[in-house]
Structures are given as structure tokens and as C-alpha cells.
Amino acid sequence: MSEARTAKGKIRQGQKESVRPLIPAARIQKRIRAMAKEIRRDFPEERLHLVSVLKGGVFFLTDLARSIPGEVSFDFIAVASYGQNTHSSGQVRLTRDLDSSIEGRTVIVVEDILDTGMTLQYLLRLFQQRKPKHLRVAVLLDKPERRIAAVRADYVGFTIPNEFVVGYGLDYSERYRNLPYVGILKLGSGAKPQK
Ligand code: IMP
Ligand code: MG
């Protein structure tokens, strides 16, 4: 239904909130298998320690981990962002630390999306201080147009346009994470969704 009636019975112009499919589930799975191979090719002998950022990165982590042959372990971290993420004053704070040390390990940070880059910049600084053997970044989605921080991912699933996306772990107020595909969120009001 795309129309609703006001109390006075007039038809309201607004549309219902909707998600327009952007990347189908099968394409995501295929791309993750290819990324897993690429990561293993770069580190053929090493145990890979995947570190995912809660909660958005969880589906990507579990699918990626199952596609990487050989020894893999993983851990989780959670962060909260403060202030306007759309400019450089956006601050990131740690809300849940890793369970174990990453010193001497080959660490792959697994993130759902690289947007302004503020989150990743914070995490890379934090992890670098802990002296991993290697530190790499894998992101499912990259929105390069929005970048503020000078960070880049070593492995990118899909480069996408500057649109607010949901699904496959990505949320809008905690909703839509469970969609098996990635889609562009359109709000009923026509306004641009904000993370
Ligand atoms: P950054 O610090 O600006 O790079 O933002 C990274 C985080 O913002 C991601 O891990 C997501 O949780 C969230 N985010 C950025 N863009 C989107 C989007 O299009 N949809 C949903 N969440 C997003
Ligand atoms: Mg989020």
C-alpha cells in the first residue's frame, strides 16, 4: 500500500518505507568465497585471526570464516560513535574489547561497511599498538564518496554509491539486519536515512 488516509479522509502523498534490492544474496556469497581465497592466497601458512565489529560485521565474518581453508580463529569488538559522523569530529569509543591478545597474530579486521572511515581509523590505531604480526582489513561494502579518514581496506567486496543501505548485517535503528541481501533503504517521508 502506498497511500494512507489522514483523519480527514484525504489521501496522504507519502510512500511506505521500502528496501530496493542492490546486491542479491547469491552475489554476496559468491564474492565472499572469492575474497576468502584471496586472503588465504596472501597468507598461505598462517593462522588467520578474524576480528569483527559488532553487530553489523557478524554475518560477513561467519560466512567469510567458513570459506577460508586452514586455521582460522575469531574475536569480536564493539564500538559506539558519537557526534556527527558526517564530519571529522565524529568520535569513536570502545564498548566491548577483544577477549584475547592479538600480539604476534595475523589479524584481519572484518567490517560490514567502510563509510567515513572514522571507525576503522580508530580500530587500526588501537590494534597497531598491540603489535600484531600483520594487520589487514576486509570490508563487504565500500562507499568511497563518504570518506573522511585516510584509511583503506585491503579486501573489498563491493564498491557502492553514496546511498544508505541495509541488510546482511547492516541496520536502520536495529532493523533489517536479517535480510540475506543488501538493499537501498527509502524512507516513507522521502528524507535521507541517517545512521
Ligand atoms: P564509518 O565510521 O563512517 O566508516 O562508519 C562505519 C559504520 O557506520 C558501519 O560499521 C555501519 O555500522 C554504519 N554505516 C555506515 N554506512 C551505513 C549504511 O549505509 N547503512 C547502515 N549502516 C551504515
Ligand atoms: Mg550500525
Global pTM reads 0.90
Q: Is the separation of the CB atoms in 92 and 80 below 8 Å?
A: yes
Distance from the alpha carbon of residue 138 to the mean position of ligand 2, in angstroms:
17
Ligand 1 within 6 A of 111 CB? yes
Distance CA 16, CA 4 (A): 9
Looking at residue 14, what is its pLDDT? 66
Per the CB < 8 A criterion, the answer to whether 129 and 13 are in contact is no
Residue ID of nearest Cα to ligand 1 atom 13 = 195
Is 97 designated active site?
no
pLDDT for the residue numbered 83: 59
Q: Does ligand 1 lie within 6 Å of residue 123's CB atom?
A: no
Q: Atom 5 (ligand 1): residue with closest C-alpha?
A: 115
- Give residue 101's pLDDT: 98
Q: Give the span between the Cα atoms of 162 and 183, in whole angstroms.
A: 12
Per-residue confidence (pLDDT) for residue 89, from 0 to 100:
53
Q: Which ligand is nearest to the CA of 142?
A: 1
How many Cα atoms within 13 Å fall on the side-chain side of residue 116? 16
The C-alpha atoms of residue 40 and residue 86 are separated, in whole angstroms, by 35
Which atom of ligand 1 is least distant from the CA of 117? 4
Question: Is the CB of residue 195 below 6 angstroms from any atom belonging to ligand 1?
Answer: yes
Q: Are the CB atoms for 145 and 162 separated by under 8 Å?
A: yes
Cβ proximity of 143 and 162 under 8 Å: yes
Q: Each residue's pLDDT tens digit in the chain (195 positions)?
A: 444 454 555 455 568 999 999 999 999 999 999 999 999 999 999 999 999 999 999 999 999 999 999 999 999 999 988 755 444 456 899 999 999 999 999 999 999 999 999 999 999 999 999 999 999 999 999 999 999 999 999 999 999 999 999 999 999 999 999 999 999 999 988 888 987
Give pLDDT, residue 3: 47
Whether 194 and 19 have beta carbons less than 8 Å apart is answered as no
170: CA distance to ligand 2 center in Å?
Answer: 6
By three-state DSSP, how is residue 12 classified?
strand
pLDDT at 71: 98
Cell numbers given for 163: 546511498
Phi first, then psi: give them for residue 81, nearest 5 degrees. Answer: -105, 145
At residue 126, φ and ψ (nearest 5 deg) are -60, -50
Residue 41 and residue 7 in contact, taking contact as beta carbons nearer than 8 Å: no
Reduced to 3 states, what is the DSSP secondary structure of residue 116? coil
Protein residue with its CA nearest to atom 12 in ligand 1: 56
Catalytic residue among 42, 63, 112, 115: 115
Q: Which ligand 1 atom sits closest to the C-alpha of 81?
A: 2
Instruction: Please enumerate, as own/partner, the contacts of 69-72 that have beta carbons within 8 Å and a separation of 24 or more.
Output: 69/36, 69/40, 70/40, 71/46, 71/47, 72/47, 72/48
Give residue 191's pLDDT: 87
Alpha helices in the chain (DSSP H): 25-42, 58-67, 118-128
> Is 115's C-beta closer than 6 angstroms to any atom of ligand 1?
yes
